[in-house]
Structure 1
C-alpha cells in the first residue's frame, strides 16, 4: 500500500479512541452552537500523537484534536498550546486552520480537546509528490520553502507569542528535553546509538546566536494542505511540537527529507532529483537562507543540525514505541514508526561522522 493510500482520509474510530458522543454533543450545543447538530464522527488515518477526528455537522465539517487518554509523558500532547499558536498565527494571516473552540475540561470526553476549521485541499503523503509533473513539483517545493521562511520571519512579540517558549539556548534545552524523555521511558527500552547521541550532542552544539522564531517542529509536505490545483499552501497542520526556538534548527528538520530513506516518513534519499524537478539539498538550503537573510551553515554546523534532528525524530519514534506499550498510540501506523527506531538512530549517529 502506498503512503498516500495508507494515510489519507478518515475512517471508523479505532479501538481505544472512542468518544462519548452524548457528552460531546451536549458540549457542542453549549459551546459551538453555530456548528449545528453533530451527525457523524470519523477518525483521520494520519497522525501519530494526538488522536484527530472529523466531525460532520449540520453546517459542514470541522476537526477535533484531543490529548490521548491514559498515562502520557510530562509536557507531551499539549493541545492547549496548539490552540494558542494557531489562534495567534491565524491573526497574523499565516496559513493555519481557523480555531473554533477549546475545552480544557477532561470530564467532557476524557481529555482536553479543541475544534478547528476543516481546510479542504490536497495533502501529499508521499514526499516526492508523485502525482505532479516536474514543473509542478518544483513549484510546490518552492512554496514549502517560502512558507517555512515566512513562519520564521514573524515577529513573535508582535503576534503575541513572546511567552510561547523560553528564548535562548534552544539546542541545549531541546537536547535535554528529548534525552530526558528517551531515558525516562523505560517501557520503550534503550538503543546504543541513542545513548551515544545523548553524550555527543551537548558537546557539539553551536553557540547560541540569539535567533528566536516560532518553530513548527515537524514541518513536512504531509503537514501542509495545498490548494487542489496550484502550488499554494492553504494551511499548515500539526503544531504539537511548536515552540519558540532557533529557526535553522527547525528548517534543517525539514531538510532531513533529503537524507531519510523512502520507507521513513518524509524521506526521499536516493531519488533522482533532477528527473523529479526537486531542488538539490544545497539549493533548497540556499533558497531558505536567502529568504530569511541568514548565512548558510558551515559543514560542521550542518553535521550537528542533521544529527540533532534525526536524534529528535528518533526520540519521537521511541515515544511512539512507549505509547504502544502503554496502549495509547493513536495511529494505525505507529508500529511501523517504532520498528524504524534502530535504523533511524544509526543514521543519526552516522551524521556525526560526515564532513558535509
Structure 2
C-alpha cells in the first residue's frame, strides 16, 4: 500500500527538463567560495509540481538540498523574488518551526543566469490536484487534513509581526487597494485575449473595498500545494501533522483576509465545473466546504469575516492574472513547458466564477 501511494506523488524529483538545466560547475564553484560546508553537488534533479519558480533537488555526498530560481524568461520581479523568500525564511527560523533552513542566497545572474537560493530539504507529502483521480484517502482523514490546513493559516496570521521582525516586509496601510490596483495593471500588461468577466470583476473590486483589518503576516500563496504533511510510516499516506510550508517569496504584511480569500479561490468543491476541480483536490469527499473553511477560520481566529466575499472574488481574480502571466510568457515563446499552453480555459473559468460570486453573493 505504501508504494501504491508514493507512486502517484508528483513531487518525487525527476530528470531536469530540457532548457532548464543548471550549470553545475559554476554552481559548485559558487558553493565552494561561499558555503564550503555544503560540499560538492554530484547530482541534480527537478521537482515537476507547480507553475511558478523552478525547484531542484541537489544531492551532495552527505545531504540533500533544494535550490529555487525564477523560470527562464520571467520578468515578473514581484512574483519571483528569491531574495524576499530567503529573507522570510531567515526571519521565521526562530518563531515558526515549519520552514526549511535557508543556506545561501545568490543575488546576481552570474552563476545560473538569475538570482537563486538554497535551503535544506523537508520531506513529506504534498497534496496536488493531479493526485485526485487516484487518491483514496478516507473522508475522515481528508477532513483532518483540510482542518489542519485552516488551523495552520491561523497560526501564521497570529505571529507577532513586531517581535519576529516580519513587519519590515511590507506596508500594511493601504495594502488591499495597492493589491487590487497592482493586479489589475498586471493583467492589462499580460492580456492576450478579451475576457469581459475580468473587466467587470476589476470594476467591482474597485467599488467595494472592505474595512480595515488588523495587519498580520501573510504567506500570500497558501494552499495544499505549498504544505508538506507528515506521512504514515506503514502506508505512506498523509497525516494531519504539517511538517513544512513552502514557497514564501511573496510573503508580506497586510490584511490577513487576503490570505484566506486566496486560499478559498483555490478551494474547489464537488459541484464545481471539471475545469475548476482540476485546480485543487479539495472537492474530494471529507474536505471542508468553502463556507466551512470560513466558519472554522472565524472560530479559530476571532476575526470578522462579514466581508469575505470581496476577498474571495479578489483571490479568483488574482489567480486568473497569475495564470494569464504564465500563459502570456508561453505564448511569447519564453517557456517550453507544454502545460502553460493550456491555461486559457482556466483563466476564463476563474473570471466567470468571480463574476458569478459577485452576482449571487455566494462563495
Same fold (TM over 0.5): yes
In structure 2, distance between residues paired with 1:75 and 1:123: 25
Q: 1:195 aligns with which of 180, 193, 199?
A: 199
Q: 2:103 aligns with which of 100, 112, 132?
A: 100
User: Alpha carbon RMSD of aligned pairs, Å?
Assistant: 2.3
Q: 2:51 aligns with which of 48, 53, 60?
A: 48
In structure 2, distance between residues paired with 1:94 and 1:327: 40
Q: 1:304 aligns with which of 304, 310, 319?
A: 310
2:212 maps to 208
**Structure 1 residues 344 and 8, CA, compared in 2 at 3 Å: closer, same or farther?**
same
Moved more, 323-332 or 9-18: 323-332
The offset of 1:158, in angstroms, is: 0.9
1:346 maps to 352
**Structure 1 residues 50 and 289, CA, compared in 2 at 3 Å: closer, same or farther?**
same
Moved more, 124-133 or 8-17: 124-133
TM-score, normalised to structure 1, is 0.89
Q: Spell out the pairing of 1:250-329 with structure 2 (5 A cutoff).
A: 250-256=259-265, 257-258=267-268, 261=273, 263-264=275-276, 266-267=279-280, 271=283, 276-295=285-304, 297-298=305-306, 301-329=307-335
The offset of 1:326, in angstroms, is: 3.4
The offset of 1:185, in angstroms, is: 2.1
1:219 maps to 222
Q: Spell out the pairing of 1:26-45 with structure 2 (5 A cutoff).
A: 26-45=29-48
1:142 maps to 147
In structure 1, distance between residues paired with 2:300 and 2:335: 38
Residues paired across the two proteins, number: 345
Question: Which 5+ residue runs of structure 1 have no aligned equivalent?
Answer: none
2:167 is paired with a residue whose SS is: coil
**Structure 1 residues 177 and 329, CA, compared in 2 at 3 Å: closer, same or farther?**
farther
The offset of 1:345, in angstroms, is: 1.1
Question: Which 5+ residue runs of structure 2 have no aligned equivalent?
Answer: 233-238
The offset of 1:71, in angstroms, is: 5.0
Q: Does 1:60 align with 2:63?
A: yes
Q: In the TM superposition, what whole-angstrom CA distance separates every residue of 1:295-335 from its partner, at most 9, and x where no partner exists?
A: 3x23xx23222211100100001111112123344855323
**Structure 1 residues 305 and 106, CA, compared in 2 at 3 Å: closer, same or farther?**
same
Q: In the TM superposition, what whole-angstrom CA distance separates every residue of 1:73-96 from its partner, at most 9, and x where no partner exists?
A: 343311110111122122212411
Moved more, 63-72 or 44-53: 63-72
Q: Is the 8 A contact 1:32 1:101 kept in 2?
A: yes
Q: Spell out the pairing of 1:110-259 with structure 2 (5 A cutoff).
A: 110-126=113-129, 130-186=135-191, 188-209=192-213, 211-229=214-232, 230-256=239-265, 257-258=267-268
Q: Is the 8 A contact 1:261 1:268 kept in 2?
A: no
**Structure 1 residues 152 and 8, CA, compared in 2 at 3 Å: closer, same or farther?**
same
Q: 1:13 aligns with which of 12, 16, 20?
A: 16
In structure 2, distance between residues paired with 1:233 and 1:74: 29
Q: Is the 8 A contact 1:303 1:354 kept in 2?
A: no
Q: Is the 8 A contact 1:101 1:116 kept in 2?
A: yes
